Amino acid sequence: MYQSPRHYFETRLRLAADPMTAAARLASSGLHPDYVVYENGGTWSYAGGATAEITLDRTGARLRQGEEVHLPWDGRPLRQVQNLLDAVQVKDWRAYGWAAFELSYAKDGDLRHVGDQRLLHLVVPHTEVRIDSGEAYLRSADQATLSAVLEVLTAQGAEPRSVPDPVDVRQAGADDYRRAVGAAVDAINDQRLQKVIFSRVVPVDHEVDFVGTYLAGRRGNNPARSFLLSLGGIEATGFSPEIVVQVQPDGRVVSQPLAGTRALTGDRTEDARLRAELLADPKEIYEHAISVKIACDELLDVCAPGTVDVEEFMVVKERGTVQHLASRVGGRLAAGRRAWDAFGAVFPAVTASGVPKDAAYESIRSNESEARGLYSGAVLTVDHQGAMDAALVLRSVYRQAGRTWLRAGAGIVGQSRPERELEETCEKLGSVGRFLVPAAQPVNAGAAAMAGGARS
């Protein structure tokens, strides 16, 4: 049952622990079964529980804050989400959550390719902690939980460092992936599309400690954003290489396409050689350039005339086990436009879908083995001032309904070669696959008793 307070109990705390460890402590504390941890520019946030919850599926949008408000599907789902957020009865609210890739099919009203899955899930948290520059700002809907959070954050003791158990990312679905790349190249050469991103799924056959994996993986990656969540039956942790969109309260909007990839090996000479190869490869440059062009075109639809430009073009960003060509496109929202208009204009990221998007969607549905769900969707925050930050969900591990998996893709254009695109998926999967921490195995009571008897 969700309560809807109009204010939070608040306090501040100087932290001895580093912010990542502090946020992970809260996630593993058990205070809230549902939570989101989100890192943005050196600031970590923890959102636990819900005072208000917004969900979206093919039947419409729902707001739960005490009682439920249901807006039946009307073909404008993101506007419904905005209207429900406007109705949230929490002072200075900030919402956290995720959007599934399949929202891209439905955001303009078309439900033909949408099943019964949830498309979006947001919570205005019961308890929120933001950690920046060694200080934590805490707020909670009740004093008892605020005290419990303080206790977690001030607890003494060394933080354990778990040992990851890497998984083999090379074999699962490899032959099917090569065939799909070949089919995509044929479609591109037949001018049915210009670019498409195909992904493949790698099953994980052992239980994973998601908090431990987040800590190990974040130490081994340098993402644009990172996240750890358990929300609405989905668990995930990831190290996002790029944002989908960022909107400031004053209407400044930025998108950040990354396309074009080479490995990061750890050998400085080899990495420099691969970097030079990346910057000179016509296939990678073309793939990147058309992604930047689409990002500009999409922002033109929602930004004031004359404000859209390419602020940074084709620099190399290092992200975990790979290096990418990266650009930044910015603009200013037109009068009457809001954060959800910007999100709707650019979602899903062109770097995870294709060009043109509708043709890419059809190709993805035809050639991938299953729906994407959270993969290549977004984990995001949005607040009462109109700010939004949406991270592209890549380089992640997922768990739902007892199943755990990885997923990664590569951008395919006319010059693509199946073997190279398969190798690129392996390079990207390494950003997560080598950091998977096994879940602690429960001790068998009978075996423990026998061991105790032997020791005595």
Query: Are the C-beta atoms of residues 373 and 100 closer than 8 Å to each other?
Result: yes
Which pLDDT value is given to residue 156? 82
Q: Identify whether 236 is part of a domain.
A: yes
The answer as to whether 120 is a domain residue is: no
Q: Does residue 157 form part of some domain?
A: no
* Residues facing residue 207 across a β-bridge: none
User: What whole-number distance in Å separates Cα of residue 408 and Cα of residue 141?
Assistant: 39
Task: Please pick, among 242, 298, 421, 424, the residue that the annotation labels catalytic.
Answer: 242
CATH value at residue 274: 3.60.120.10
Question: How many domains does the chain contain in total?
Answer: 1
Specify if 140 maps to a domain. Answer: no
Kindly state whether residue 338 falls inside one of the protein's structural domains: yes
Q: Using alpha carbons, select from 218, 229, 202, 203 the residue that is nearest to residue 162.
A: 218
Say whether 242 is catalytic.
yes
pLDDT (0 to 100) of residue 320: 87
For the record, the structure tokens of 140 come out as 């909670």
Domain assignment of residue 125, yes or no: no
Domain boundaries, position 298: 174-433
Q: Is residue 149 part of a domain?
A: no
Please tell me the pTM assigned to this model.
0.93
| CA separation for the pair 356, 375 (Å, rounded) | 20
Q: pLDDT tens digit string along 264-320?
A: 999 999 999 999 999 999 999 999 999 999 999 999 999 999 999 999 999 999 998
Among residues 307, 306, 325, which one has the least CA distance to residue 316?
Answer: 325
Mean per-residue pLDDT pooled into runs of 10, the chain (456 residues): 66 93 96 98 96 98 95 98 97 97 97 96 98 96 97 84 92 96 96 96 97 96 97 97 97 96 94 97 95 96 97 95 95 98 98 96 96 98 98 98 97 96 96 95 43 35
Contact 291, 261 (CB under 8 A): no
- Residue 137 resides in a domain: no
Cβ atoms 309, 239 nearer than 8 A: no
